[in-house]
Amino acid sequence: MMGAPRALVQRVHAGAGGVFGVLLLVILLSGAWSMAHEDLRSWFRGPAALAPGPLLPLAQWLPVASRHGLAPEALQIRLPDGERAVVELCAPAKPCNLALDPATGRALETENAADILFNLHKSLFAGFPGRVLISLLGVVLLLMIWAGSVLHSGRLQDLTRLRRDRGPRLLAHDLHSLIGRWAGPWLLLFGVTGAMSGLGALGTLTLAGQAFPGAPQQAFMQLLGAPPQVDPQAAPAQPFDLDQLLSNDAAAHPGFTAQSVTLHHWGEPGAWLEVAGIESGLPSTAVFERHAYRGDDGKPLATSSASGRGFWLQAFIAVQPLHFADYRWLPHAGPLLRVVHFSMALGAAVLVLSGLYLWLERRRLKGGAGWQVLLRLVVGVGGGLLAASAVLLCAGALANLGLLPRGSLTAWFWGCWIASLLLAALMPPQRQPLRLLLSVAGLAFLSAGALHLAGSLEHANLSVWPIDLVLLLVGASALWAVRRLTVFSRTARAADANAI
């Protein structure tokens, strides 16, 4: 009686993987790099981009903003923190496109190369509809996790079994099983937070009009908190010192790390400002953790926090930091958790890839339809994305040395990915360019890591050395995979020759 349900679960698991596997592979690969989005921005700027020295006093950023066409009366100053290495100036609730050297105030080149993988993971370059689609893929991932856990046994020996010398199919099967078991909690985290990210926002937008007919913005005011009421008084000759206010805020909230200062009506009657950041021990973001102060005397006005706002609302707020591995609210365990989170994301991509390989092998051996199309998609889309990401990073390292124009980085990424898709579409199934793409990816990752690390040592700036280390490890892993594929290919040819 249990055979029919198990067969149904098997079809659901294999069918969902076959239909959505390529998209999940893209989302997981780009998601792994998105966890280091701010660090990658610093990486692409190069080790010589920032001048050494302390942060300029906050008051000096107001004339800097004026020179760049930003009104100091309504200004957000994003401060350097554990991830962001620069100062960013922008109008409140607007994109920050102005990055400056924290020590000199010098405007830095706009660096969009790191945004490619981030936007690919966040919305597939399709805006809010793409974000909802990504969330639906999170639901698919949860369905596949459930089905996979039902199908695999709970035998303890399967937790360590990895048969490397019995052919690619058994290796892929054991690898698929191992990653699924050991990375299970993280896969659940990816699926749940990914599903809630877009679907939660869609639900908020949909229900806002129902809860507040004619004024849906009231729902967001309830979620984020209304601005404080400030009695307008005569504008002071000199607004309160911003650096002193930050010092007072740090003394009043010892577990709080300030990330931005937002000025409202600065220099006018009724001026006030917000200090936003991260509270230690609380999985939240600067959108919800805010302290408001008067602009004339620096006296506290209000405090907004996710703390004490109910379990479900706190869970919704925690989605963003948990999904993107922002563990700065755990100052001691945070770095280690980021490493584990990144490793599990890469492992999840390998899990999907091994599952796709097993699906393709079953179809190929049975002569089923569609496997050739899926094979081309896996190689062109998945392998092409890996190669294009490596080429993008290698081009960025060369641009830091002045050997490539920075404006060409985006073209290198898209050119490599499109070329990979064309190769996979035009070549027959038996000659798919998987080893070629893995070789390109391995050499490009190794070159990017080595070139950037050499520049970092030359300028004594090792702030993003973990990225260089990851690039070297990923590059070496890609070349190892090429070697294993070559060995498997030779073994298969020898077996065919003996059979003849």
% residues pLDDT > 70 (the chain): 89
Mean pLDDT of 484-490: 79
- Is 223's pLDDT higher than 70? no
Q: Please give the pLDDT value at position 1.
A: 39
Model confidence at 474, pLDDT cuts 50, 70, 90, reads very high
Q: Give the pLDDT score at 260.
A: 93
**Confidence band (pLDDT; 50, 70, 90) for 2?**
very low
pLDDT digits 0-9 by tens, 290-307: 999 998 888 999 899 888
How confident is the model at residue 216, as a pLDDT? 59
3-state SS, one letter per residue, for the chain: CCHHHHHHHHHHHHHHHHHHHHHHHHHHHHHHHHCCHHHHHHHHHCCCCCCCCCCCCHHHHHHHHHHCCCCCCEEEEECCCCCCCCEEEECCCCCCCEEECCCCCCECCCCCCCHHHHHHHHHCCCHHHHHHHHHHHHHHHHHHHHHHHHHCCCCHHHHCCCCCCCCHHHHHHHHHHHHHHHCHHHHHHHHHHHHHHHHHHHHHHHHHHHHCCCCCHHHHHHHHCCCCCCCCCCCCCCCCCHHHHHHHHHHHCCCEEEEEEEEECCCCCCCEEEEEEEECCCCCCCCCCEEEEECCCCCEEEEECCCCCCHHHHHHHHHHHHHCCCCCCCCCCHHHHHHHHHHHHHHHHHHHHHHHHHHHHHHHHHCCCCHHHHHHHHHHHHHHHHHHHHHHHHHHHHHHCCCCCHHHHHHHHHHHHHHHHHHHHHCCHHHCCHHHHHHHHHHHHHHHHHHHHHHHHHCCCCCCHHHHHHHHHHHHHHHHHHHHHHHHHHHHHHHHHHHC
Flag whether pLDDT at 492 surpasses 80: no
* Residues constituting the chain: 500
Digit-coded pLDDT (tens) for 438-467: 999 999 999 999 999 999 998 888 888 999
Tell me the mean pLDDT in the region 227-231: 76
Handedness of CA 397, 402, 407, 413 (dihedral sign): negative
Angle between helices 184-211 and 311-323 (to 10 degrees): 130
Sketch the domain layout of the chain as residue ranges: 1-49+114-223, 51-108+225-331, 369-500
Query: 455: buried, middle or exposed (CB in 10 Å: 19+, 13-18, 0-12)?
Result: middle
Question: How confident is the model over 104-123, as a mean pLDDT?
Answer: 88
Q: What local confidence, expressed as pLDDT, does residue 497 receive?
A: 54
Q: Does the pLDDT of residue 222 top 90, yes or no?
A: no
Residue with tokens 């199919």: 169
pLDDT of amino acid 11: 83
Per-residue pLDDT band at 159 (split at 50, 70, 90): low
- Per-residue pLDDT tens for 327-366? 989 988 888 999 999 999 999 999 999 989 888 888 887 7
> At residue 493, does pLDDT exceed 70?
no
pLDDT, tens digit (0-9, with 9 covering 90-100), for 391-433: 999 999 999 998 999 889 999 999 999 999 999 999 998 889 9
Tell me, rounded to whole angstroms, the distance of Cα 258 from its chain centroid: 22
- Given this model, what pLDDT does residue 200 score? 74
Task: Give ∠ CA 331-335-340 in degrees, rounded to 5.
Answer: 135
**Average per-residue pLDDT for the chain:** 86
Looking at per-residue pLDDT, the higher value among 155 and 332 belongs to: 332
Q: In the structure encoding, which two tokens stand for residue 104, read together?
A: 């000199």
pLDDT at 490: 72
pLDDT at 157 over 70: no
